[in-house]
Amino acid sequence: MSDNRRDLRLAWWLSLAAGLLMATSAAGGLWVEGYYRDPPEVRAVLRGYDLVTLAVVVPLLAGTLVAVRRGPGPSARLLWTGILIYAVYNCMTVLLGSVFNDFFLLQVSLLPASIAALVVVVLGLDADDIRNAFRPCTPMRTVSVLLAVAAISLGGMWGYSALRYAVLGEAPIGSALVLPASSVHLGYVMDLGLLVPALLVGAVLSWRRTAWGYVLAPSLLAYLVLCQVNYVTALVFQSRAGIPGAQAYDPVEPYIMAVLLAAAAAMFAGLRRPRPSGPGGPPAVGRSRR
């Protein structure tokens, strides 16, 4: 790694705080009666998200923080970034997609912690060092096409539905989840306003093999995998809750998940092994540099 490394101790502590808040909020959503006061179909979705957060995301974040503490190699930093993207996006979905409740202060405190951690982590990245850590054979163009297809498919589907509503007055379509119109609207806002632009930027930068393309591509893929796990888990929760019209299985989902996992594996497999911490190696977070 170059001499332009930044101290990530602040990001580490912010991420730890975000992880503790995520764990507490998710545990409350799963086991505290009356934690969510939304309609049954929304409660089922949010509880599905909570299970993924508690069982998958928080342990993954904890393992990443341990790895970063020992020596912040590029794979740990990129996975760290992807997890924090999930934390921000999922927190906004919960806050904006649920009604006011007794635990609002707990839920809302997660948002600034996650955003601050993500910003500090990104500012602490040396994009050129990240690019140099990848092998030349890393399939950046293939990943770029995948990100572009995801952006165009999602943006085209929601955009067409929104235009059809404007012209014909037909209600906008949603996913296989059973959701009220307000939740469908929130999904459109989050996807068209945040996710689709991020995917397009990641696709362009990856295609051009810029330094930040090597940062965005694996980070976005890590987020997308976690997002898909959220989706399939929410389907199961709605079905088990007996929501009318709910389906426990989306037949397209295994193919989408397989492609995303393969792309993420190819990206992270393209990283060279970092040098160990110590003289000439990357400094571990929390250790002083002399």
Least Cα distance to 282 among 67, 138, 134, 121 occurs for 67
What distance in Å separates the CA atoms of residue 247 and residue 234, rounded to the nearest whole number? 10
What distance in Å separates the CA atoms of residue 286 and residue 81, rounded to the nearest whole number? 18
Q: Which residue has the tokens 């990245």?
A: 125
The predicted pLDDT at position 286 comes to: 46
Write the CB contacts of 265 (distance below 8 Å, at least 6 apart in sequence). none
Least Cα distance to 72 among 132, 17, 121 occurs for 121
Q: For residue 34, give the amino acid letter.
A: G
Q: Is the distance from CB of 110 to CB of 22 less than 8 angstroms?
A: yes
Its pTM stands at 0.91
Query: What letter does residue 134 receive in the DSSP assignment?
Result: B
Phi-psi region of 71 (alpha: psi -120 to 50; beta: other; left: phi over 0): left
Query: What letter does residue 281 receive in the DSSP assignment?
Result: S
Least Cα distance to 261 among 212, 228, 237, 225 occurs for 225
* Assigned token pair, 288: 């002083």
- State pLDDT tens for residues 40-86: 999 999 999 999 999 999 999 999 999 988 876 899 999 999 999 99
SS (H, E, C) 182-221: HHHHHHHHHHHHHHHHHHHHHHHHHHCCCHHHHHHHHHHH
Least Cα distance to 60 among 282, 276, 223, 262 occurs for 223
For residue 92, give the H/E element and its range: helix 74-97
- State pLDDT tens for residues 222-263: 999 999 999 999 999 999 999 999 999 999 999 999 999 999
- State pLDDT tens for residues 165-218: 999 998 898 899 999 999 999 999 999 999 999 999 999 999 999 999 999 999
The predicted pLDDT at position 272 comes to: 81
Tell me what the pLDDT averaged over the chain comes to: 90
Q: What are phi and psi of 134, to 5 degrees?
A: -90, 145
